[in-house]
Structure 1
Amino acid sequence: MKETILGVDVSTDNYDSLTSKLLKKIDNREKAFIVAINPEKIIKAQDDPSLMKLLNSADFQIPDGIGVILASKFKGGQIRERVTGIDMMLKLCETAAKHQKKIFLYGGKPGRADEAKVKLKEMYPGIQIAGTLHGYEKDQQVVHEAINQSQADIIFVAMGSPAQENWIIANKETLHPSVYQGVGGSFDVISGKIERAPESFQKLGLEWLYRLMKEPWRIKRQAVLPLFLIRAITSKK
């Protein structure tokens, strides 16, 4: 089930229901594309038809942003739980370890996917990370061969948005994995190179505030939230 906020589809699934659906996709050898939705992306999509099309082409648009939850609540929708990109990735890693599904980590600086692999193996004993490849490999034939030879079921692509989503759309039909998720800087966070907001901020949906306190230059980006809420609440889309 999905809701539409300013023309952008947003899934109502929580972590458990989405994970269950993705496991079925893997078992049935079907493709599934996950994209994270936040207020900044929705506002940008208003003036960028290609971005709007990209976001709506995903199979699952997870509500990664407290503003999306608030907009749904104000409009009488059913989205009540944030599903963040990094936590969705970790949930899938946990599930993959339990169900013997293989994972591939693609993207980031040279060595970063390997560092994330080490941490994930510590976090989820038994996890099968079938391959890693940094995002600076230019030869797409090399990329495709590495991914397909791994026989991975799930691939996490860390290139930043929308580059990672565009890559997924362009390549997923010729690749082995069933589940595709763009994860931005998640390899950096998992490997410990970038500090995530404390859990107290995460639970309150205030990771944006923590980032703003640490990086005041983000104020221009964060200023989009009140604009988003006003437009989302007053719009019929």
Structure 2
Amino acid sequence: MKEEILGVQVNTENYDELIPKVFQNIEEKKKSLVVAINPEKLMKAKEDPELKALLNRAEFQIPDGIGVIIASKLQKGNITSRVTGVDMMDRIVREAARTQKAIFLYGAKPGVAEKAAQKLLDTYPDLIVAGTQDGYEKDTRKVIETINQAKPDILFVAMGSPKQEQWIEKYRDELHPILYQGVGGSFDVLAGNVKRAPAIFQRFGAEWLYRLLKEPSRLKRQMNLPKFLLEVFSRK
């Protein structure tokens, strides 16, 4: 099920409901893109019709951000829990290990994807990592060839949004994987290069506050949240 927030479709399901649907598509060889939806992205999409169209073409739009939950409540919708990009990746990896689906990590600085892959293998010893590729390789044909030779079922792309989603959409018909997810800075988090917000911040959907306390320069970006909620409220 999906509901519309500022013209963008967003899934209403939680992790346990989404994962079977995602893996059913893998079994049926239906290529699928998982994209994280947050207030900042929705505000950008409001001004950028191409971005809005790209987000709406994705097969799965996960509600990543407490602002999306609040917006759904404001419009009496059905989104009740966050599905964050990094946790969705973890759930997909966990299920991939269980079902023996191979993954590939593409993006980030040299060495980061390899380190992230090793951390995942430490957590999920049965996981099949088909390969990794850093994001600094300029030859796109070489990247595509490397991925296709590895034959993964799932491709995680860490380039930042919306660049990663644009790259996936442009090349996915040429690529072997069935499931795609743009994961932003998740490789750095997995590799231990970037610390995630403490559990208490995660539990209350306040990771944005933790990042703001750590980086006050993010204040301008965080002002998107009240603007976003005001926009949703005005459309009620």
| TM bin (shorter chain) | over 0.9
The superposition leaves residues 58-84 of structure 1 with CA deviations (integer Å, 9 ceiling, x where unpaired) of 111100010000010111100001000
Per-residue deviation, 1:5: 0.7
> Any gaps of 5 or more consecutive residues in structure 1?
none
| Structure 2 Cα separation of the partners of residues 21 and 88 of structure 1 | 13
Per-residue deviation, 1:55: 1.0
Identify the residue that residue 96 of structure 1 maps to in structure 2: 96
Per-residue deviation, 1:234: 2.0
Per-residue deviation, 1:95: 0.5
Per-residue deviation, 1:217: 0.5
Identify the residue that residue 24 of structure 2 maps to in structure 1: 24
Aligned positions of 1:145-164 closer than 5 A = 145-164=145-164
> Any gaps of 5 or more consecutive residues in structure 2?
none
Identify the residue that residue 206 of structure 2 maps to in structure 1: 206
Aligned positions of 1:31-50 closer than 5 A = 31-50=31-50
Tell me, what secondary structure is at the counterpart of 1:152? coil
Partner AA of 1:37 in structure 2? I
The superposition leaves residues 140-198 of structure 1 with CA deviations (integer Å, 9 ceiling, x where unpaired) of 22111111111111100000111100000001111111100000000000000000000
Q: TM-score, normalised by structure 2?
A: 0.98
| Structure 2 Cα separation of the partners of residues 233 and 121 of structure 1 | 44
Identify the residue that residue 139 of structure 2 maps to in structure 1: 139
| Structure 1 Cα separation of the partners of residues 172 and 234 of structure 2 | 37
Partner AA of 1:158 in structure 2? A
- The ranges of structure 1 where at least 4 consecutive aligned residues each deviate by more than 4 angstroms after the TM superposition are none
Instruction: Name the count of aligned residue pairs.
Output: 236
Superposition CA RMSD, Å = 0.8
| Structure 2 Cα separation of the partners of residues 46 and 103 of structure 1 | 33
Per-residue deviation, 1:227: 1.0
